[in-house]
A and B are shown apart, each in its own frame.
Chain A
Amino acid sequence: MRKFCVYGKGGIGKSTIVSNIAAALAENGETIMVMGCDPKSDMTRNLVGKRLPTVLDLFRTEGPDRMKLDDVVFKGFNGVHCIEAGGPEPGVGCAGRGVITAVDMLDRIGVFDDIKPDTVIYDVLGDVVCGGFAMPLRQGLADDVYIVTTCDPMAIYAANNICKCIKRFADRGAVTLGGIIYNGRSVVDEPSIIDGFAARLGTKVLGRVPMSILIPRAELHRKTVIEYVPDSEIADTFRYLATAICENEDRVMPDPLSDDELDGINEEIEVLLREREETGSNLTGDV
Chain B
Amino acid sequence: MDGGKFFGAFRASSGITDAVVLNHVPVGCNWGAAIFKTTSNQFDMRHACTVMHEREIVFGGEDALREALIRADELYDTPILLVIAGDAPSIIGDDVGAVVNSVTLDAEVMWMEAAGFKGSMRDGYEEALTHLAGLMNESDMIENSVNLIGFSPDDFKVDADVKEIKRLLRDAGVEVNSVISKCSLEQFKKAPAAELNVVLGQGSKLAEHMKIEFGVPYLEMEYPYGLEGTTQLTSAISEELGTGHEPEFDIEPFKKVYLYLHELYGTPVSIIGDFHAEAMANFLNWELGFNVEVSARNVDDYFEFEEGVRNSNTTILFGSSFEQNIARTLDIPLIRFCYPVFDNVCVYDDAPYAGFRGAVCLTEAIINTVMSYG
Contacts and interface: CB of A to CB of B under 8 A. Distances in A.
A60 B55 contact: yes
A93 interface: yes
Interface string B92-135: 11100000000000000000000000000000000000000000
A88 B54 contact: no
A56 B56 CA distance: 12
Interface stretch (B10-18, B57-65, B161-169): B57-65
Interface residues on B, range: 10 to 19
B273 to A, nearest CB: 36
B91 interface: yes
B55 A94 contact: no
A97 interface: yes
Nearest to B62: A92
Interface in A23-64: 56, 59-60, 63-64
Given A89-B60, A92-B60, A97-B58, 10 more contacts: A63-B55, A64-B54, A89-B59, A92-B59, A92-B62, A92-B92, A92-B94, A93-B60, A95-B58, A97-B92
Contacts of A179: none
B86 to A, nearest CB: 15
A59 B58 CA distance: 10
Report, nearest first, the 9 A-B pairs whose CB atoms are least far apart: A92-B60, A93-B60, A98-B58, A93-B59, A94-B92, A88-B59, A97-B57, A97-B58, A93-B58
A98 B58 CA distance: 5
A97 B89 CA distance: 13
Interface in B219-254: none
A180 to B, nearest CB: 32
A64 B55 CA distance: 9
A24 to B, nearest CB: 33
A64 B62 CA distance: 20
B55 A59 contact: yes
Interface in B35-74: 54-60, 62
Contacts of B57: 93-94, 97
Contact of A56 (B58, B91, B93): B58
A93 B92 contact: yes
A59 B54 CA distance: 9
22 contacts: A56-B58, A56-B59, A60-B55, A60-B58, A60-B59, A63-B55, A64-B54, A87-B58, A88-B59, A88-B60, A89-B59, A89-B60, A92-B59, A92-B60, A93-B57, A93-B60, A94-B60, A94-B91, A94-B92, A97-B58, A97-B92, A101-B58
Contacts of A89: 59-60
Interface string A62-101: 0110000000000000000000000111001111011001
A63 B54 CA distance: 10
A63 B56 CA distance: 12
Contacts of A93: 56-60, 92
B155 to A, nearest CB: 36
Contacts of A87: 58
A227 to B, nearest CB: 33
Contacts of B62: 92
Nearest to B92: A94
A182 B57 CA distance: 36
A262 to B, nearest CB: 30
A97 B91 CA distance: 11
Contacts of A88: 58-60
Nearest to A61: B55
B54 A97 contact: yes
Nearest to A102: B58
Contacts of A63: 55
B60 A101 contact: no
A153 B57 CA distance: 34
Interface string A104-116: 0000000000000
A181 to B, nearest CB: 30
A171 B62 CA distance: 39
B85 to A, nearest CB: 14
Nearest to B63: A92
Contacts of A92: 59-60, 62, 92-94
Nearest to A87: B58
A9 to B, nearest CB: 23
A27 B94 CA distance: 46
A217 B54 CA distance: 40
Contacts of B93: 92
Interface string B302-315: 00000000000000
Contacts of B91: 94
A56 to B, nearest CB: 6
Interface string A271-287: 00000000000000000
B87 to A, nearest CB: 12
B195 to A, nearest CB: 49
Contacts of A97: 54, 57-58, 92
Contacts of B58: 56, 59-60, 87-88, 93-95, 97-98, 101
B142 to A, nearest CB: 49
